[in-house]
Structure 1
Amino acid sequence: MGLVVNQHKNSNPSMDFIEILGYKIRYVMFDCPEAKKTIVLLHGLGASAERWADLWPLLKKYNVIIPDLVGFGYSEKPLIEYTIDFFVRFLEEFFEKMQIRNPIVIGSSFGGQLALEYSLLHNDFFEKIILVSPAGTLEKPTYGLSQYIFSGLYPTFENIRSSFQMMANNDEYVVDEITVKDYMNRMRLPNAKYSLISTLLAMRKDQTLRKRLVEISRPTLVIWGRNDTTIPVENIEYFKEMPVVETVIMEECGHTPYVEKPTEFYQVIEKFIDS
């Protein structure tokens, strides 16, 4: 499968599978015995735990758990209707079975939308919430998002590299060849394209999130890349009205600042987590 879990150093990296809602789910975990805080990382649409790999080595002082969301990565991809409710139930059982209590959640793009949806149903579950260019506020797909979906449906090396380069929106950023090949391999797995499209339809059906942002009650940090063409930075304005929300715009970054500038990204989140 081309798993690349152990090439990034951290305390005790491990990969395993667990049954959630009857499906086989992969997760990556880093144990830090002296850690007082647990961080859960939720990847975006079509991604996997490896999308956070550049951040892994910087999270040494925390317990870290990164699931491949059901339907994505190397988790099982059932032929069912993927709805927001289904993903929330998935997280409920995952947190329960993994005995995760009061974690800090970091959600990117669709993972950010899921973190929000979950927290609005379970107000006191997360200690803090960090959202990176969260989905859920776009009225219609951007060209950058459309190209990413296209690369998932037609996963050639060139299509994927081009869409990842567009996602970064930075000529100096070099797309890692291993990342491209891993995405290409995953999108060729049985039912991978089905789960991508089914989830995308669920995201487009759920248009109520923007109105419910006022219900955010946990300390929340929203981070956006200034050059994001997938979900434009203007969407950060929707989050600025709540007193519990802090916002940060990272310069010279696109949709995934934790990939493009991991050290700078870590400094921003560490300050928020430890405050």
Structure 2
Amino acid sequence: MSNMHTPVVRDAGKRLLVIGGTSDIGRAVGDAYAAKGWRVAFAARNVEAATRNAEDIQTRRGADQVPVYPLDILETGSFDGFIDSLGDLPDTIVCVVGMLGDQPRAQDDPDHATAIMRTNFEGPALLLELLAGRFATRGHGLIVGVSSVAGDRGRASNYVYGASKAGFSAYLSGLRNRFGQTDVRIVTVKPGFVDTAMTAGMNLPKALTASPEAVAQRILDLQTNKANVVYTFRVWRLIMGIICALPEPIFKRLKL
């Protein structure tokens, strides 16, 4: 039996750029948009892996060519040239770049901690700053930054990763405030646990763990949903609200 999906009607006026095209969430986002007729492009450091995702979308969705642009999120000096290489700006940008890293190693290895912080915060923030400026010059655009519930409050189990995501969330909030009275939209997405290669081997609670496709659908919904901050599962807003409300003396006694 063929795995080919029925081709959808193309809308040449709608373009999506996924920054982080090798990730499971990035692939799912590209696939969801392609299924709606959007022209999709990926940006990634590992062009070969991103190209496999691109070719998969082309085959299954009968989509137009999905170009892959080389991008190292830590090479901040290359960002202007990268944006210029895109030609016409996309209508929507989804940034799913991320590095979980290893908390115990980060505690003893400053280089590893630096890589986590730069990958999750510095690089994405500096790139989105440039892209938002170009969107403002054009007059419109949607930027979706995928952050994490881990940034809502620092916890011993992943505080280096959490701190980097907290910085990214705060950055996106400020960018959203800056462009709040314009047609440039900035949205923060906090997926919670997601069943991806990055979390493989972890004992995740099934009821609180989303699939990459579920996260992608929530991001796709932002084309009509005017939310500013989105939790993939709404229960995460309640959970993190409770965790953030705990007094510090109580919080310090918990094993989180």
Q: Same fold (TM over 0.5)?
A: no
**Which has the larger helix fraction?**
2
**TM-score range for the pair, normalised by the shorter chain length:** 0.3 to 0.5
TM-score by length of 1: 0.38
TM-score by length of 2: 0.40
